[in-house]
Amino acid sequence: MFKRIKAILVIISILVSFLLFQNIDLAIAKDPDYPTKPITFYISFGAGGSTDLASRAFAEAAAKHIGQPFVCINKPGAGGTLAAMAIMSAKPDGYTLGPVSTGASLVAPLSGTAPYKDLTGIEVIVNFGKYIYLLVVRDDSPWKTWKDFIEWARMNPRAAKVGIVGAKTASAVGFITRQIEDREDVELTGISLKSSAEVLQATLGGHITLFNSTTDPSVVEYIKEGKLRILYYASPEKLPGYENISCCLDLYGDEFCIPNFLGVMGPRGLPDYVLKKLDDAFAKAVKDPDFISLMKRMYMPVVYMNRDQMNNYVEEGFTRMGRIIKYLESKEKAKGGK
Coil, helix or strand at residue 256: helix
**For residue 26, what pLDDT is reported?**
45
184 HSE (CA, 13 A, CB side): 24
Q: Is residue 20 scored above 50 in pLDDT? A: no
| Alpha helices for 99-206 (secondary structure H) | 102, 108-110, 146-155, 172-184, 196-204
Using the CB atoms, write b or e for 143-165: b if 16+ within 10 Å.
beebeebbebbeeeeeebbbbbb
- One of 3.20.20.70, 3.40.190.10, 1.10.8.60, 1.10.4160.10 is the CATH number of 133-257, namely 3.40.190.10
CA dihedral 93, 261, 256, 140 (to 10 degrees): -130
Distances (CA, A) of 41 to 59, 86, 95, 298, 300: 8, 10, 8, 21, 20
Rounded to an integer, what distance in angstroms lies between the CA atom of residue 171 and that of residue 213? 11
Once rounded to an integer, what is the mean pLDDT over residues 229-258?
A: 93
Q: Is residue 66 scored above 90 in pLDDT? A: yes
Decide: 121 and 91 in contact? Cβ < 8 Å.
no
Name the percent of the chain lying above pLDDT 70: 91
Rounded to an integer, what distance in angstroms lies between the CA atom of residue 134 and that of residue 87? 29
Sorted by sequence, the CB contacts under 8 Å of residue 163 that are 6+ apart come out as 191, 193, 199, 202, 203, 208, 210, 211, 212, 213
Q: Is residue 166 scored above 80 in pLDDT? A: no
**For residue 28, what pLDDT is reported?**
45
For the chain, the domains span 31-130+261-326, 133-257
- Flag whether the pTM goes above 0.75: yes
Question: Using one digit for the tens of pLDDT, what is the confidence trace for 258-292?
Answer: 999 999 999 999 999 999 999 999 999 999 999 99
- One of 3.40.1010.10, 3.40.50.720, 3.40.190.150, 3.40.50.200 is the CATH number of 31-130+261-326, namely 3.40.190.150
Decide: 231 and 146 in contact? Cβ < 8 Å.
yes
